[in-house]
Amino acid sequence: MEKRYYGVGKLVNTHGLRGEVRIIPTTDFPDQRFRKGNELLLFHPTLTEPLKLKIATRRPHKGFEILSFHGYSNINDIEKYKGGELKIPEESLMELEEDEFYIHQLIGCEVVTDQGEELGKIVDVMQPGANDVWVVKGKRGEILLPYIDDCIKEVDVKGKRVVCHLMEGLL
């Protein structure tokens, strides 16, 4: 079976001359993922294999994470990796609470209403702000379901099934 990796951040730019980089985090756990000493894998189009990086320093800065890595102490060492994505292997995923799940676990879940109508499958999860919005594609086209208690009634990621209540105005 092919090994799976999950994104935790995007390397968008360098920061200063000493090898620091500016990361846009794509994880809900930046304090754990970007802790000094942690290892991340860098995926970049110029690399044939992921590059293993060990975090030397970390500091949050204006919505970004400023990181440096062991062995990369100069802007010239790291600049070529701009646009790369930092990932972790599947075995490094954190255990979640009972009613929590990762986005990749939701993709492909069958969505049915509390009345038994099949709506389709979750194809994407948008994160616009206050709550996530699940994008469902099926017979009725694209439906946007807000992840709120009034709408999402049951989530079974192991069984790949979600039960929802279609609130007025959703269709």
pLDDT tens readout for residues 105-126: 899 999 999 999 999 999 998 8
Mean pLDDT of 53-75: 94
Does 15 score more than 70 pLDDT?
yes
CATH 2.40.30.60 region(s) of the chain? 5-91
CATH classification for the domain delimited by 5-91, as one of 3.10.105.10, 2.40.30.60, 1.10.10.10, 3.40.50.620: 2.40.30.60
Does 101 score more than 90 pLDDT?
no
pTM of the model: 0.74
d(CA 118, CA 113): 7
Helix, strand, coil percent content, the chain, rounded in steps of 5: 10, 45, 45
Structure tokens belonging to residue 136: 């469902």
Strands lying side by side in the sheet with 152-156: 141-146, 133-138, 118-126, 110-113, 161-164, 152-156
d(CA 23, CA 5): 18
Q: In a 3-state reduction of DSSP, which class is residue 110?
A: strand
CATH 2.30.30.240 region(s) of the chain? 103-164
Q: CATH second-level architecture of 103-164?
A: Roll (2.30)
Are 60 and 30 in contact, with CB atoms under 8 Å apart?
yes
Q: What is the pLDDT of residue 1?
A: 62
d(CA 81, CA 94): 27
The better pLDDT of the pair 95, 16 is held by 16
